[in-house]
Structure 1
Amino acid sequence: MMVRISEIEVHAEHLAQYKAILAEEAEASVRLEPGVIAIFPMFQRDSDTEFRILEMYADRRAYEAHLKTPHFLKYKSATLHMVKSLKLVDMQAIDRPTMNRMFTKMGSR
């Protein structure tokens, strides 16, 4: 599995438009791409222009395929001028068994 956290800051004047485009992209990614386990966007409570996106992919190939999808390319081109900064942080799970139980638990709801 590939896990990444995207740290994004957007220009305040584009905030509403950015949120709408991001929500559309995240929904399409999870719905349309079998290799996308999660695209979970959030913003900081005390700074609504600072976003974190938890991204989980089945593997590196799924991530690379995601980058070529029409919905991701639309998101990237439409928001490029809105983004003030972007940092991509690759993560490594510490406790895979608990992570697997979490997904099982979520599926039972």
Structure 2
Amino acid sequence: MKKICLILLTTVLCMSCGKEKPQNKKFNSDKMMIRISEIEIVPEYLDEYVTILKEEAKASMELEPDVISIYPMYQTENPTEIRILEIYADQTAYKSHLETPHFKYYKTTTLKMVKSFKLIDMKAIDRPTMSMIFKKMK
């Protein structure tokens, strides 16, 4: 019995040692690419567009470690006016994002649904506070 317990304990210890806990990645805020996408949707496509956008945002956040934020929202008074806060670790992360299957699906599928589209590149004003924003949402 002692032998079995020892074998089980050794197995558990070996298994736990081989797995590293995921570390919170440090991003260089000077290299971050921050963008606001302003998108107007054709009203009859709004529900379908939102469904596809939510899938794309979720996949981007779950599958792409250098995508810091894909945060879609809409104007309260006009739900067809969509805004997306996009934050990438750097230009390379953004370019990589554009090549993902989930982004390509989103882009090609929603093309007919978009009435107007504008990308606005931004720069952070308060970099030290930026790291606190998402920590509060746990």
TM, length-normalised to structure 2: 0.75
Distance 1:105 1:11 in 2: 35
Alignment map for 1:37-76 (pairs within 5 Å): 37-76=68-107
Deviation at 1:100, TM superposition (A): 1.5
Distance 1:42 1:74 in 2: 20
Structure 2, unmatched stretches of 5+, are 1-31
Structure 1, unmatched stretches of 5+, are none
Distance 2:131 2:117 in 1: 29
SS of corresponding position for 1:48: coil
SS of corresponding position for 1:47: coil
1:93 corresponds to 2:124? yes
Identity %, equivalent residues: 62
- Structure number with bigger Rg: 2
TM, length-normalised to structure 1: 0.95
CA-based RMSD: 0.9
Whichever structure has more strand as a proportion of its residues is 1
If asked which structure has higher relative contact order (CA below 8 Å, sep 6+), I would say 1
1:36 corresponds to 2:67? yes
SS of corresponding position for 1:20: helix
